[in-house]
Structure 1
Amino acid sequence: MYDYFYGQQAELFSFYRVPKVLFTDEKFSNISSDAKLLYGIMLDRMNLSAKNGWVDELGRVYIIFTIEEIKCALGCAEKKAVKLLHELENKCGLIERKRIGLGKPNYIYVKNFVDNSVERQFLNCQKDNSGTVDKTLQELSKSQGNNTDIKDTEYSDTDPILSSDFSGRDVEKDEEFQSYYQYFYEELEMDYLFREFPYDKEVLESILEILVETVCSKRKLIRVASDDKPAEVVRSRLMKLNSEHIRYVLDCFKDNTTKIRNPKQYALAALYNAPVTIDIKIDADVRHDMASGLI
């Protein structure tokens, strides 16, 4: 008999994340729930491919995911694994397979479901759904910071900043910006966060726009915590954030007392590190509660 979850124990585990848009947008209604789950698993493997440098001559990231591996991952028969790949490739275009030949496994290109090449769910999203698209980015106050594992909080004001990528661009008419904006708005459950933290609305709006600017950046390297990291690695990490990560980052901002010279770079580093540092914090909290007899 399995035990119950206590406190924050549920956050100790790793999860596959399937984008909500696959369930909420009717254009994906023609593929099965198992196909959507397989797409989520493929997205997870994309992070490893980016780290390993699995890119083709055009710089496109690919994964290697054989039929046998899919069978093991989903616990299904070969016929079903083949059917699910067919759904993702031929019914909705979320993947593309490239035959390599010579007995080698196919390359699988996992398509970006909010990319310009795919009809997007929120192409005509209304400003009043978010209430922030037409606002300029608000800087975080100096009293707000982060106690996550960031080595240097004294960023130089001359650090490369993402906003330069958007100089001269009308974000209200930028379809890519709008699509990613709405993706994060939905995935992070911003409506709930705004109600939960009414006095931190400007900070939340800033976080949202920093995330969108980062994933829309055309740079090959993105500066995070004084290090230049491959843009695909940074995007992959940020696309996996959820509302719990944002709550954690807000708490860290409020706990910090260190002077911050570059709030945007500081916030980006906090967001990038959140998936790692939140697990450490939750594990420490659970151990403390267990030792104190609270669990």
Structure 2
Amino acid sequence: MTFDYFYGRESDLFSFVRIPKLLFKEERLKRLSSDSKILYGLLLDRMSLSAKNGWQDDDGRVYIIYTIDEVQDELGCANKKAVNILAELEDIGLIEKKRQGLTKPNLIYVKNFSSEVLKEHFQKCQNDTSGNVELTGQEVSKGRTNNTDNNNTDFSNTDSIPFHSDRIRLYRESPQENGMEGNGNDALQIRKKYQDYVAENISLEILKERYPYQRELIYQLAELMVDVLCSTKDHICVGKEDKPAPIVKAQFMKINSMHIEYVLEGLQKNTTLVRNTRQYLITTLYNAPLTIDAHYDTLFNHDRANGLI
């Protein structure tokens, strides 16, 4: 069998399963088998569908239904191996099963390990700062570094987010304006960790080289992500709706370079008047992981139906 080459942006037309990098970097999780890591990515993908459909228990915890038969089908393995892979994830604490009875499939809670793991990493790098830093929401690891040049600036205008052409202007003069607690040095240290996390997650340097004429906008999106991840508010407004902050932050933690490219493409095509740029961009970033696959699937089907591919 001979496969064709990719042309243009054809590679973007696939649906992807996203597997957290921490599964390969965190010492306690490295020992997981490759099959278990792939299955965790599949379970996370199913989680987004369950959340969209409102599959939650009385405590608001999202659950999924993923049977042994589905594991066998997705991974192409026998029943015994499928059972062992699920057991491996359960033993290490990445999933929790709840039995419904003999005739009903188990409910599966996919556990969010990132907060605890990243918190441990963050605490290890606090030796060079004074006092204890108390964090809220998703924490960020030490290992995410970047060679960007930082500068202080003031973010007082909610309708526009000013950026210098060649600098990521990342710090507010007052940490309290950003919803962060603690003294100024602590707040800046926290913010720097989130900057590095975002820079690596979205491949900031690569995007900068790939889109030199949209550098300011890319920096703007990166800074906005940092703002959201640093927020200590209980709720964050997304599309005129106040959503629980942990849900919004978890969504922003998923954003990678493909999502940023997708957002850039959408912004270029937008011709409507945007009165609150900041709020518009937060909503656009939040929706990117939710809509990117459907967008490119629709685009592919359209082009194929019209004989363009």
Settle same-fold status: TM greater than 0.5.
Answer: yes
* Residue 107 (structure 1) aligned with residue 107 (structure 2): yes
Alpha-carbon offset, residue 79 of structure 1: 1.5
Please name the residue that 1:116 is paired with.
116
Please name the residue that 2:96 is paired with.
96
CA separation in 2, counterparts of 1:52 and 1:76?
29
Alpha-carbon offset, residue 290 of structure 1: 10
Which amino acid in structure 2 is aligned with residue 166 of structure 1? G
Aligned length: 271
Alpha-carbon offset, residue 234 of structure 1: 4.7
Please name the residue that 1:226 is paired with.
240
Alpha-carbon offset, residue 27 of structure 1: 3.0
**TM-score using structure 1 length:** 0.70
Secondary structure of the residue aligned to 2:146 is helix
Question: Contact conserved, 1:132 with 1:205, CA < 8 A, in 2?
Answer: no
Alpha-carbon offset, residue 107 of structure 1: 2.6
Alpha-carbon offset, residue 113 of structure 1: 2.8
Which amino acid in structure 2 is aligned with residue 140 of structure 1? I
Q: How does 1:60-71 map to 2 (within 5 A)?
A: 60-71=61-72
Alpha-carbon offset, residue 235 of structure 1: 5.1
Please name the residue that 1:145 is paired with.
none
Alpha-carbon offset, residue 277 of structure 1: 6.2
* Residue 242 (structure 1) aligned with residue 256 (structure 2): yes
Q: Provide the alpha-carbon RMSD of the alignment.
A: 4.0
Question: Contact conserved, 1:248 with 1:278, CA < 8 A, in 2?
Answer: no
How big is each residue's C-alpha offset from its partner over 1:223-258, in whole Å with a ceiling of 9 and x where there is no partner?
333345566765565444321221232354456566
**Identity in percent:** 43
Aligned with 2:282 (options 254, 264, 268) = 268
CA separation in 2, counterparts of 1:185 and 1:207?
11
Structure 1: where are the runs of 5+ without partners? 143-162
Secondary structure of the residue aligned to 1:70 is helix
Alpha-carbon offset, residue 201 of structure 1: 5.0
Residues 132, 30 of structure 1: alpha-carbon distance in 2 compared, 3 angstrom cutoff: farther
Q: How does 1:208-219 map to 2 (within 5 A)?
A: 208-214=222-228
Secondary structure of the residue aligned to 1:3 is coil
Structure 2: where are the runs of 5+ without partners? 126-141, 164-175
Residues 168, 108 of structure 1: alpha-carbon distance in 2 compared, 3 angstrom cutoff: same
Secondary structure of the residue aligned to 1:246 is helix
Aligned with 1:129 (options 133, 146, 154) = 146
Question: Contact conserved, 2:94 with 2:110, CA < 8 A, in 1?
Answer: yes
Alpha-carbon offset, residue 64 of structure 1: 2.0
Please name the residue that 1:4 is paired with.
5
Please name the residue that 1:153 is paired with.
none
Residues 102, 86 of structure 1: alpha-carbon distance in 2 compared, 3 angstrom cutoff: closer
Question: Contact conserved, 1:207 with 1:267, CA < 8 A, in 2?
Answer: yes
Which amino acid in structure 2 is aligned with residue 84 of structure 1? I
* Residue 194 (structure 1) aligned with residue 208 (structure 2): yes
